A and B are shown apart, each in its own frame.
Chain A
Amino acid sequence: MTAKMIRWAAAAIGLGIAFSTPLAAAEETATEFPLLKPTRQEWSFAGFFGQYDQAQLQRGYHIYKEVCSSCHSMKLVKFRNLADEGGPGFTEEQVKALAAESTITDGPNDEGEMFERPRLPSDPFPSPYPNDKAASFSNGGAIPPDLSLIAKARAVHRGFPQFVFDIFWPYQEQGPDYIASLLTGYQDPPPEGVEVPEGTYYNPHFINGISLRMPPPIDDDLLEYTDGTPQTKEQYAKDVSAFLMWAAEPHLDARKSLGLKVMLYLIVFAGILYFVKRQVWRGVPH
């Protein structure tokens, strides 16, 4: 009996919901998270001709650097990417200066010693914690996720029939919509009667529960925008979400502009082939 139970437990872990269904169904009343679906926003990079808004990416980088990066790493992005085509469009000099603001351990040198040096454009963004243990220790047991791919790693289930419509009218901005909704979705105090675990913050937009350990990170007038963009929580959330989308999908601009050329080429080619086929089959009943 015990052996059987252990085997079942192992199967339940390995097989996820596949075989644990009869047990799981009895135990938990299924609550779908997030409680609120993300709010759909207008994005410059949505649609067939969509491209990133350079100024928005620069503002978003600003927020990432001043706010997010104090807890979140972004290991896959390198400073040089900030000057890449289709990105925030910083100049080489700006990138050098931004990189040099932090240091990195390099070496060993000729004497066999490791040493600290200012970062170069070829170095990745600095991480706030040396390892996951340190990150978890500083954040009450939660590890702030790396943000390199977060905009592609979060998508709220669309459900039937929306997911069918999405085939015909692509919706690939689910990540930034989710992030923007999450960042502005905190509710303090939580609705009456809702118990929030100690050290967490109620947010009905959170994809994995009713609350999360990240405190509300942004508020109105938190940072100064020099280009006259409104300094609201919503605008900050939107700008940083756009930046995170770029970080996750840095070649989106190239993809969409190449896509347009390829599709036009294929459509014209298919048209020609259609007439070739008609010509070939002319006079051949079929």
Chain B
Amino acid sequence: MSGHSTYVPKTALGKWFEARLPVVRLLHDTAVSYPTPRNLNALWTFGGILAAMLVVQIVTGIVLAMHYAADSRVAFHSVEGIMRDVNWGWLIRYLHSNGASMFFIAVYVHIFRGLYYGSYKAPREILWILGVIIYLLMMAAGFMGYVLPWGQMSFWGATVITNFFTAIPIIGQPIQTLLIGGFSVDNATLNRFFSLHYLIPFLIAGVVVLHIWALHVAGQNNPLGIDVKSDKDTVPFTPYATSKDVLWIVLFMIFYGWFVFYQPNYLGHPDNYIEANPLATPAHIVPEWYFLPFYAILRAIDFNIGPIDAKLGGVLAMFGAIAVLAFLPWLDTSKVRSGNFRPIFRVAFWVFGVNALFLGYLGSVKTDDIILGMQAVRWAQLSTAYYFAYFLIILPLLGYIEKPKPLPLSINDAILAKSAAGSAH
């Protein structure tokens, strides 16, 4: 994959540059001549979509930061100033607030694609773990960004989430105090969150570079999950992958625009249009939608487990739910990557997907709400149990008990077989 480079500088300037800093060669090898499996489906365009969203978020965010004031006395009003008085401020702010949600939608598609096609398996373990790190950074950025408008949900969400740290014995309290800069969420919290919210996207960009680097070393996985065997299996990135990526980025922008222009507040919470008030707790504190599955897992642990009380148990379960992803390459014992060839895995995977959505729903309701005759918290316990069972029991076992379907010899073989079947009709 890497190593061979087909770039030949043609102009005098190109040659001059090549001898000093071969950056054009790097770009050419990365985005033009890079061989990409020819059988990739549209799900493989979500990496490009995510890159586009990162750029959108950074650009809109930098403009917003020009007008925003991170001071608890004026933050809420400065955001309203952006919405009302800054030229195109409403557009930039809605692009940014909905952009965060779009970023998460895209990353969830990207992650689930990886889960289904086994993109985390050797030799892509590092690539996958870098992805988990990006996801964690995104969560930190999303959470801190939601605090900045200093609405009721900003304030109480920050209070709830930073409170998690106090569950850790002995060092928990000092960590929380350091994190929020005092004994309760206040101006100091807002200031450091703004600072970190501005920093994290650039950390993400850095890890994205590593993520892409690792991708280009190991090569892309593909829907068949088999290794690239020869040049017949691949096409150059440009124009083949680029033409597909650009199309799907624009289609994704249509989806994004649907929210920005026609329902910009659908994914937000009405309480965040009320200025933060430390004296009035909202009736129902919920985090942003993209955290809801983890919030459901947190709340599912309402019992003590030996020396671990319910609070610490919930926090451990929640962080464990993310941490387990990093170990996935070794938890899945099957040698076959693609779910297409794994009949039992496929069922477990789709149940996992539906279960994740259901956890999200459970995160949005009150724990004592009754759903189909059972308390939401009991459902959350069942769902949480499946979430962990999928990673810790089902995937390790399936490698031994499942009989995968026969794999094609090569990507090219499979494509030829498919087009032969197509022309036979």
Contacts and interface: CB of A to CB of B under 8 A. Distances in A.
Nearest to A151: B273
Interface string A249-273: 0110011101110110011011001
Contacts of B361: 160
Contact of A277 (B94, B235, B247, B368): B247
B261 A259 contact: yes
B404 to A, nearest CB: 24
A19 B375 CA distance: 15
B240 A172 contact: no
A259 B270 contact: no
Nearest to A84: B84
A175 B84 CA distance: 19
Interface string A155-180: 10000100000110011101100000
B261 A24 contact: no
A255 B94 CA distance: 10
Q: Of B246, B270, B284, B310, which is in contact with the most chain A CB atoms at under 10 Å from its CB?
A: B270
Report whether over half of chain B's contact residues are helix, strand or loop; otherwise say mixed: helix
Nearest to B271: A153
B77 A76 contact: yes
A250 B84 contact: yes
Contacts of B416: 285
Given A22-B302, A270-B250, A149 B273 contact: yes
A188 B114 CA distance: 60
B281 A266 contact: no
Contacts of B163: 11, 14-15
A2 to B, nearest CB: 17
Contact of B273 (A16, A153, A266): A153
A5 interface: no
Interface string B364-398: 00111100000101000000000000000000000
A270 B84 contact: no
B246 A273 contact: yes
Given A18-B160, A19-B310, A263-B254, A152 B265 contact: yes
B175 interface: no
B299 A21 contact: yes
A15 B270 contact: no
Interface string B270-288: 1101100000011111000
A3 interface: no
B247 A270 contact: yes
A16 B261 contact: no
A19 B314 contact: yes
Interface in B229-263: 235, 239-240, 243-244, 246-247, 250-251, 253-254, 257-258, 260-263
A6 interface: no
Contacts of A175: 270
Contact of B262 (A13, A148, A170): A170
Contacts of A11: 163, 311
B257 A259 contact: yes
A167 to B, nearest CB: 7
B377 A255 contact: no
A195 B242 CA distance: 67
Given A280-B240, A285-B416, A18 B299 contact: yes
A203 B65 CA distance: 43
A13 B257 contact: no
B72 interface: no
A172 B270 contact: no
**In the complex, which range does the number of interface residues on chain A fall in?**
35 or more
A286 B415 contact: yes
Interface in B281-307: 281-285, 295, 298-299, 302
B26 to A, nearest CB: 24
B11 interface: no
Nearest to A22: B302
A14 B159 CA distance: 6
Interface string A237-255: 0000000000010110011
A40 interface: no
B367 A17 contact: yes
B250 A255 contact: no
A273 B160 contact: no
Given A18-B285, A22-B302, A263-B261, A284 B240 contact: yes
Contacts of A194: none
A16 B160 CA distance: 7
Given A19-B310, A21-B377, A259-B261, A166 B266 contact: yes
B113 interface: no
A1 interface: no
Given A255-B264, A286-B39, A149 B311 contact: no
Nearest to A16: B285
B341 interface: no
30 contacts: A14-B159, A16-B160, A16-B282, A17-B285, A17-B367, A22-B302, A30-B366, A76-B80, A154-B270, A167-B266, A170-B263, A170-B266, A174-B270, A208-B283, A254-B90, A255-B90, A260-B261, A262-B257, A263-B254, A263-B258, A266-B254, A266-B257, A269-B250, A270-B251, A270-B254, A281-B240, A281-B244, A285-B38, A285-B419, A286-B38
Given A21-B377, A260-B261, A285-B418, 18 more contacts: A13-B281, A15-B163, A16-B156, A16-B160, A17-B366, A19-B310, A21-B299, A25-B375, A149-B273, A152-B270, A154-B270, A166-B263, A170-B263, A250-B84, A259-B261, A270-B251, A270-B254, A277-B244
Q: Nearest 10 pairs between A and B by C-beta? A: A259-B261, A16-B285, A153-B273, A170-B263, A25-B368, A21-B367, A273-B247, A155-B270, A149-B273, A277-B243
